[in-house]
Structure 1
Amino acid sequence: MKILSAKQIKEADKISLEKQDISSTELMERAASLVFEEIHKRLEGAQIPVKIFCGIGNNGGDGLVIGRQLLEAGYEVTIYVVNYSDQRSKDFLVNYDRIKNLTTKWPVLLKSEADFPEISYGDFVVDAIFGVGLNRPLVDWVANLVKHINKSGAFVLSIDLPSGLMADAPVEDKESIVKANYTITFQAPKLAFYLPETAGFVGDLQILDIGLDKEYLQQAPAVANLISRPEAKALYKPRQRFTHKGTYGHALIIGGSYGKIGSVCLTATGALRAGAGLVTIYAPKCGYEILQTTLPEAMVITDPHMEILTNIEYDIDPDVIGLGVGIGTKEETIEAMKNLLKGNKKPMVIDADGLNILSKNADLLNILPEGTILTPHPKELERLIGAWKNDFEKLEKVKRLAAKHEFIILIKGTYTFTVTPDDLFINTTGNPGMATAGSGDVLTGILTALIGQGYEPLRATILGVYLHGKAGDIAAEKLSYEGVVAGDIARHTGAAIFDLFETQLNNT
């Protein structure tokens, strides 16, 4: 699913009005009526106080339509108009008059903090103050109204966006954003819904198709693409019957140090569970018995040093290399990694201390193969690109690094972002149970395995991140968020793949 900008949504509105030969008032009625139906479906006629806060633009117009229809359905509704300016949108005025013609209980004008109504814990609040058109900070008394709503404890439903949140730009005062329990947005999701700094204001999200022009929506370039099951399924390539282990690639996993052999074991397990035909682990000598005992499916090559990597040499010809988990940052290991990279042309996935070494030796970035996948967590990312003021600046910095070196870079988090020089993909699987040691090591193994099986790096990354999150979801359903450990994610990777191909096991 595409994420579109505020500007694109406005353009879609305009084109839809022209092609469908309808007025903006009719489009507003259509959109707001769909929201009314969702509210009515949930409230089922319950006589709880419904308090609707309307701005004086088109978002407020939506709120007026919803309020009118709730009144007509017999709900206990009070409508408040947040009168922050003398300017009114045309469609707001049309629907304001319709409310006045329907009932003697006219909307209450709010002009200052002295007008704020009491909002109780049991109230149902509809936030229709600002929508996708907001492009500046709130005036002080309106910001205080937002804080008043947030402090009330009432259930809050925001229309299009939580008021105070901007679709495509950072917000300086996060205290002045409505914290919604539920957001119903129109036609397409907005980027702010998925960024760490702003996603928490959205609550549960519902996207309503309000019938905007399909041709425009299909042709409009996406700000980002959401990846869920349909998109992942389209990327997945089922196995054919007449194949053998060599068909599915040889993955070399390089990592580990004394006390951190578990990390490379998790990575190799992730690779095997994601379908790698062959997995070889290159680790210090101290890991030999552990790895051969724990993971008999993998082959093991050991470094001359007992505790760290010092001389990464091997006589195999892998299809892909996963590098960095648990290797540490000792000088001997840094030199070994430098020597490896100078002679390597194979596709690579680099994680953990491999990234930390790159951040301290930026010249190495220039010799990595194009299409290399970097998988940093937030602190590793900061070491690579420097600090950022907000999530939008972070995205721009990551895009610049990706463009400079033709990398694919992950921004790991609740919604993991896959960043390329040209595109942005946002994963929708995963859960809080995956916030556990070793989870990222498993992801590195999954990505390495998919590249070894012949998936090109971007396709492997998008699909691998999805499968990793889905495996975590399946594990959490059985074990709880708290009960999930990284090994559970690796063990459920096959179940995540099975969910994609369903009845395709007999595909020939």
Structure 2
Amino acid sequence: MKLFSKEQIYEGDKLTAERQNITSTELMERAGTQIFNWIHARMQGAQVPIHVFCGIGNNGGDGLVLARHLITHGYNVNTFIINCSDKRSKDFLVNYDRIKNVTKKWPVLLNCAEDFPAINPEDIIVDAVFGIGLNRPVDEWVKQLFLHFRASKAFTLAIDIPSGLFPDKAIEDEDAVVWAGYTLSFASPKLVFFLPETAKYTVQWEVLDIGLDKEFLYTTQTEVELIGKHEVLSNYIPREKYSHKGQFGHTLIVGGSYGKIGAVTLASRAALSSGAGLVSAFVPKCGYYPLQAAFPEAMVITDSDEEKITNIKFDLEPTVIAFGIGAGTDNDTASAFEAFLKTNKAPLVIDADGINLLAKKKSLLKLLPESTILTPHPKELERLMGTWKDDFDKLKKVKAFSKKHKVIVIIKGANSITVFDDKLYVNTTGNSGLSTAGSGDVLTGIITGLVSQGYNPLVAAIFGVYLHGKSADIAVEDFGYQSLIASHVIDYLGEAYLDLFKQPEQPPQQEEEAKQQAQ
């Protein structure tokens, strides 16, 4: 799914009006009606007090359309206008006049904190104050209104984006933002719904189709894409009946040190479970027996040193190599890594101490093959690139880093983001159960195994992050968040693959309608 920028959404609105020969007011009517339909389908006329708070721009106009439809359908509605400026949008004024024509209970003008209405916990708040057009901090009394919303503990529904939240930059004051239980977003969700610092402002979101021009939606290229089943399924490579292991590549996992052989075991298992034809592990001598015993499917090559990697030499031609898992940053290991990079020709996936070694000697970045995949956790990313002010600054720096070094960087988190050049791919799978030792090693193995099978590195990174999260989502149903461990993610990879081809279950009503149509 494409995530449109603020400017692209404005352009889409304009093109839709032109190509469909409608006015902006008619497009606003569509938007407000879709919000009403969503609410009406769930409330079915229930007389819970609904407080619709409207700004004086187009988001407020959407709120006025909604309030008018709620009133005409007999709902218990209170409409308020946040009088934060003398400027009103044209479409707001049109819908302000329309609502006055359907009720004697005109919208109440709010000018200051003394005007705030009482809101009970069982009420519903609709936030239609600012939308995506906000470009400055909110006034102090409006901030107090948002705090009033939170203090009421009423369910809050935001239209398009929680008010006070900018779609394209960080916020400075979390109290100056509406905390929504649900957001109904137009055209696409907003990037801020998926960033660590701003995702908390909406618990859930849903996209409403307001009939924007289809050519615009299909042809417009976006900087950000949201990755779900549909997006990865189109890149899935099926297997032929007469295929054999030699067609799915030979993965080499290089890493481990005394006490950290488990990391290599996890990565190796994950690589084979994701579909690599062959997996070899290059480890210090101390890892030979543990690996052979714990994972007999892997072949094991050892360094001459007992406890650490000192000389990366092997007599095979791997399809792809992963380096860094549990390797440590000893001087001898650092020297071995540098010597390896100077002669290596295979695609690379670099994780953990491999990234730490790159951070210690950044000149090594010049030795990385194009489209090398880096999978740092937050502290490793910081060591590599330096600190950042906020999530948007982080994304800017990672994009610049990716572009400069021609590498793929995965920003791991609740919604892991794969970055390549100027593009961001936001993952939708995974859960907090992945906050456990070894889950990063498993991710590295999965991605490496996908590259081994012939997926190009960018697709492998995106697909690997998806499968890693989906496997955890399935596994957590059996183990819970606290008891999920990295090995479970490997064990459920098969189910994550199978899930790609499952059809979503239909609600009973839709299922019955489908049966009647079939007859």
Q: CA deviation at 1:405?
A: 1.1
Provide the residue aligned with 2:124 in structure 1.
124
Distance 1:322 1:119 in 2: 57
Q: What secondary structure sits across from 1:75 in the alignment?
A: coil
Contact 2:124 2:155 in 1 (8 A): yes
CA distance in 2, matches of 1:502, 1:117: 48
SS at match of 1:301: strand
Name 1:238's counterpart in structure 2: 238
- The residue that corresponds to 2:513 in the other structure is none
Question: Is 1:458 aligned to residue 438 of structure 2?
Answer: no
Match in the other structure for 1:467: 467
User: 1:402 is aligned with what amino acid?
Assistant: S
Could you tell me how far 1:466 is from its partner in structure 2?
Answer: 0.9
Moved more, 40-49 or 225-234: 40-49
AA in 1 matched with 2:437: A
Deviation at 1:228, TM superposition (A): 0.6
Q: Deviations over 1:39-88 (max 9, x none)?
A: 11122222211111110111001111111111112111111110001111
CA distance in 2, matches of 1:395, 1:275: 31
1:359-374 matched pairs, under 5 angstroms: 359-374=359-374
Q: Which residue of 2 aligns with 1:78?
A: 78
Alignment of 1:222-233 (within 5 A): 222-233=222-233
Corresponding residue for residue 415 of structure 1: 415
Q: Distance in 1 between matches of 2:502 and 2:188?
A: 28
What TM-score results when the alignment is normalised by the length of structure 1? 0.97
Q: Structure 2 CA distance, aligned partners of 1:326 and 1:87?
A: 60
SS of residue matched to 1:396: helix
Counterparts of 2:288 and 2:150, CA distance in 1: 56
Q: After the TM superposition, which of the residue ranges 188-197 and 9-18 deviates more from structure 2?
A: 188-197
Note the alpha carbon deviations across 1:138-184, whole angstroms, 9 max, x for none: 11111121121122211000000000011112212222111100000
CA separation in 1, counterparts of 2:393 and 2:7? 19
Alpha-carbon separation, structure 2, partners of 1:440 and 1:256: 14
- SS in structure 1 opposite 2:234? helix
| Deviation by residue 1:372-409 (Cα, 9 ceiling, x = unmatched) | 00001111111111111111111111011111111011
Aligned residue number for residue 330 of structure 2 = 330
- Aligned twin of 1:300: 300
Change (3 A) 1:203 1:502: closer
Report the 3-state secondary structure (helix = DSSP H, G, I; strand = E; otherwise coil) of the residue aligned with 1:14. helix
After superposition, the CA RMSD in angstroms is 1.2
The letter for the 2-side match of 1:127 is D
**Residue equivalent to 1:340:** 340
Give the aligned residue type for 2:101. Answer: N
Aligned residue in 2 for 1:93: 93
| 2-structure distance, mates of 1:99, 1:436 | 54
1:102 is displaced (CA, Å) by 1.3
CA contact (8 A) 1:236 1:500 kept: no
Partner of 1:480: helix, strand, or coil? Answer: helix
| Counterparts of 2:164 and 2:411, CA distance in 1 | 25
1:51–1:385 distance in 2 versus 1, CA, 3 Å: same
Residue 425 of structure 2 aligns to a residue whose secondary structure is: strand
| AA partner of residue 303 (structure 2) | D
Does the CA-based 8 Å contact 1:349-1:373 persist in structure 2? yes
Preserved contact between residue 238 and residue 501 of structure 1 (Cα < 8 Å): no
Residue aligned with 1:181, SS = strand
SS at match of 1:481: helix
How many Å separate the matches in 2 of 1:287 and 1:395? Answer: 38
Distance 2:332 2:151 in 1: 56
**2:167·2:191 contact (CA, 8 Å) conserved in 1?**
yes
- Match in the other structure for 2:49: 49
Query: Sequence identity of aligned pairs in percent?
Result: 55
* Alpha-carbon contact 2:126-2:157 (below 8 Å) kept: yes
2:476 counterpart SS class: helix
Q: CA deviation at 1:502?
A: 5.6
Alpha-carbon shift at residue 483 of structure 1 (Å) = 2.1
Which aligned pairs between 1:214-363 and structure 2 lie closer than 5 A? 214-363=214-363
- Which residue of 2 is the match for residue 506 of structure 1? none
* SS of alignment partner, residue 419 of structure 1: strand
**Aligned residue number for residue 493 of structure 1:** 493
Deviation at 1:195? 1.2
Does 2:446 align with 1:446?
yes
2:223–2:422: 8 Å Cα contact kept in structure 1? no
Deviation at 1:223, TM superposition (A): 2.2
TM-score (norm 2): 0.95
Deviations 1:164-218 (A, max 9, x none): 0111122122221111000000012221111111111122110011101111122
Letter paired with 1:241: K
2-structure distance, mates of 1:437, 1:70? 51
